[in-house]
Amino acid sequence: MPPEPAHRLAPSARWLWRLQGLVGTLVVLLAGTALGGELEPPLDSLWPLAAVLAAVLLCVVVPELRWRRWRYEVRDEEIDIRRGTLTVTRRIVPMVRVQHVDTTRGLLEQLFGLATVVVHTAAGGTTIPLLEQAEAARVRDRIAILSRAPDDD
Amino acid sequence: MTTDEPAPEPEPDPALRERRLHPAAIAVLALAALREAAAPIVILIGVSVAGGGLEAQALLRSLGFLALGVVLSSLVGLARWLTTTYGVTPDGIRLSTGMLAKKRTDVPLSRVQGLDTVQGPVQRLLGVVAVNVQTAGGGAKGEIALDALDPRTAEELREAVRSLRPELAAERPAAPATERRLSRPMLLVAALTAGQLGVILPLLAGGSQFVDDLLFGRGNVGSASRLLPDKTMEWLLAAAVLLAVAWALSVAGALVAFAGFRIARDGERLRIRRGLLQRSESTVPVHRVHGVRVVEGLLRRPFGLATLRVEVVGYAEEASAARTLFPLLRRREVESFLQELLPELADDPGGLEPPPRRAARRYLLPPALAGAAVAALVCALEPSLFPWPFALAVLLGLYGLGAYRGAGWRLRDGRLALRTRRLSQSTLLAPAHRLQAHGVAQNPLQRRGRLADVAVSVGAGAGARVRHLEASVAWELWERLRPRGSLRDPQPVQKRVVGPP
């Protein structure tokens, strides 16, 4: 296996994911309180367990695992990305294929001072999410300089 | 018309600067208007027929509505023709339309990617052609559609565009060096085997035979018939009829789309002509073709037949018929066909490296288990059906086995070939330096089994993914596909200013 890409996402990305996981847990809790009483006897007392499981998975395990797996590196000729929680994908986007690149900031991202870099090729967008804003701007500008994709090739 | 503005070289024919479409456009535009108004007219006629007391009177009234619709559409057609002008200037092609709200479209010549000539039934009847000005992202009809031009004018237009942009080379081929046509028998075979529906039909026939046995007790499962609602047979019949109609439509669709199919290589572009009612001619610049796909449908594979498709950058919106490089040819002829017409991408679709033998169960088990789970569920609900639902598990297992036997890869001289099989088998042939992205993926089970998936994307987002290759092989492939050294584009990109990595 080739050496890993050098850079990680911002450490605070984990907190953003944990926050999102919390929302998921709340959904399970709500569903449990609404429907828990209706279930058959052995199951009706088990739903709090499901909520705890969801909380542990979504707020602790998944964010940590995802953050550890997520790595990227921008080289002269290519963008190298490794990502995934269970299935780990290692992807190469050649610089000559990059048509343009921009950064976006969602509401939550602004709250955490983060930004997402979106790299566009003819085949669609590839994202490097949740970087520190300054870092995202650096990555974007560097990719913009390195990419010289001919419009129609 | 003013001619005193600065005239940069070269200047097109001044007559082309501002002119109307051929008068035949009135008919074309009127028909388009009639088509737009078809729904209200049909509703009006329907209402008058349904609500009218006396039959003859109702008929007369609907005829009146129809005549009114035709007259109004003709007037609209005339008005649209009167208010539509187009022109070619050194800056580009211009079209203005609209009576009240004026709309003007300017396409700079630098953005023109081709002039497609189309001849629909109306145009053919009136001896005119429609010209679509193709641009990137302009949609199937092009950014500017000129509905009716004299063929000579269309030629002048091409000429004018060519004189301003010689590299566009949209000239008529004097004598195309290479041309291939689809023969009539092959067209018929292509139509009959078009679409996956052709597969479902015999399956359905078998299925209905089975249900027949089940319902009418020719087997020993007569008791099951009482469990099925009476309407089941009717539903099955309706479904069968629907499928038969869909199949007939797909056959007719293929006949119409691919009749008279011919492809010619003309310098740096491919010219494809096809169509029965709607004759269309499209031009694909060779440098936009980033991959070729050899597709062998379930009905075609046993006979060694395949369709060739192209993966093109910048034509994402086009219908699949427009992406067809050739509707039907023998699989063993694929390489020589490509050598002749598209040597840039020619490769042998056969002789690929298969995944390791130990990967077979990973292809086979997931679909088979899913089928078994569904079958178990069905049997739990309807025990009398046991063991028939488990045929699903066997079928899906066979599908998985097919997926394993169809999978393969090769990277030779910078040319990548990836083959996958679902119902149909598809082989992607693409130069490695033209890939949009590539990757290797591993799930936990694959990590334990030292296997990995290889995926690439090419052209406007289509791709291929070969599952469960030897992990070391997948990573070696990943490494070799990276943009560097020998895999670089033939024309190296200019030196860039770069900081330290």
Most confident of B48-52, B117-121, B229-233: B117-121
pLDDT 10s digits, A53-64: 888 999 999 999
Q: Which residues pair with B262 in a beta bridge?
A: B181, B273
Could you say which residues from 451 to 470 on chain B have a Cβ atom under 8 Å away from some Cβ of chain A?
457-463
What is the arithmetic mean of pLDDT over B165-187? Answer: 67
Lowest pLDDT segment from B65-74, B97-106, B286-295? B97-106
Q: Where are the beta strands (DSSP E) in B255-356?
A: 262-266, 269-274, 279-285, 289-296, 305-312, 324-330
Q: B133 or A36: whose pLDDT is higher?
A: B133
Token pair 């449990």: residue:
A32
Q: Where are the beta strands (DSSP E) in B150-261?
A: 178-181
A76, A130: one domain: yes
What is the arithmetic mean of pLDDT over A2-25? Answer: 92
| pLDDT value of position B16 | 63
Please determine, for residue B71, whether its predicted confidence score (pLDDT) is greater than 60. yes
Report residue B465's pLDDT band, with 50, 70 and 90 as the boundaries: very high
> Does residue A3 lie within any of the structural domains?
no
> Does residue A152 lie within any of the structural domains?
no
Please determine, for residue B494, whether its predicted confidence score (pLDDT) is greater than 50. no
> Does residue A110 lie within any of the structural domains?
yes
A93, A62: one domain: no
A54, A92: one domain: no
Domain with A94 in it? 72-147
Separation in Å, CA of A42 to nearest CA in chain B: 21
Residues of chain B with C-beta less than 8 angstroms from the C-beta of A123: 436-437, 457-463
Q: Per residue, what are the HEC states of B109-131?
A: HHHEEEEEEEECHHHHHHCCEEE
CB contact under 8 A, A122 and B436: yes
CB B284 within 8 A of CB B269: yes
Please determine, for residue B357, whether its predicted confidence score (pLDDT) is greater than 90. yes
Q: B54 or A93: whose pLDDT is higher?
A: A93
A83, A137: one domain: yes
A84, A138: one domain: yes
Percent of chain B with pLDDT over 70: 78
A33, A87: one domain: no
Lowest pLDDT segment from B3-17, B103-117, B288-302? B3-17
Residues of chain A with C-beta less than 8 angstroms from the C-beta of B494: 148
> Does residue A1 lie within any of the structural domains?
no
Most confident of A47-56, B223-232, B400-409: B400-409
* Chain B contact probe: residue of A78, A90, A127 with most B CBs at under 10 A: A90
Question: Mean pLDDT in chain B?
Answer: 79
Of A41, A67, A93, the last residue of a domain is A67
How many structural domains compose chain A?
Answer: 2
pTM of the entire structure? Answer: 0.69
| pLDDT value of position B137 | 54
Say which residues have a Cβ less than 8 Å from residue B360's Cβ, sequence separation at least 6: B401, B404
Number of Cβ atoms within 10 Å of the Cβ of A140? 22
Q: What's the ipTM?
A: 0.89
A26, A81: one domain: no
Say which residues have a Cβ less than 8 Å from residue B39's Cβ, sequence separation at least 6: none
pLDDT 10s digits, B78-136: 888 888 888 887 777 888 887 777 777 777 777 777 777 777 778 888 888 888 887 66
> Does residue A91 lie within any of the structural domains?
yes
How big is the A-B interface in CB pairs under 8 Å?
99
Lowest pLDDT segment from A80-84, B162-166, B462-466? B162-166
* Chain B contact probe: residue of A65, A97, A99, A141 with most B CBs at under 10 A: A97
A76, A140: one domain: yes
* Chain A contact probe: residue of B457, B467, B469, B489 with most A CBs at under 10 A: B457
What is the arithmetic mean of pLDDT over B179-202? Answer: 76
| pLDDT value of position B125 | 82
CB A100 within 8 A of CB A120: yes
A21, A79: one domain: no
| pLDDT value of position B491 | 41
What is the arithmetic mean of pLDDT over B407-433? Answer: 93
A120, A140: one domain: yes
CB B313 within 8 A of CB B290: yes
A60, A81: one domain: no
| pLDDT value of position A150 | 53
A137, A88: one domain: yes
CB contact under 8 A, B443 and A86: yes
> Does residue A7 lie within any of the structural domains?
no
Q: Residue A103: give its domain's CATH number.
A: 2.30.29.30
Most confident of A115-119, B92-96, B148-152: A115-119
| pLDDT value of position B247 | 80
| pLDDT value of position B446 | 95
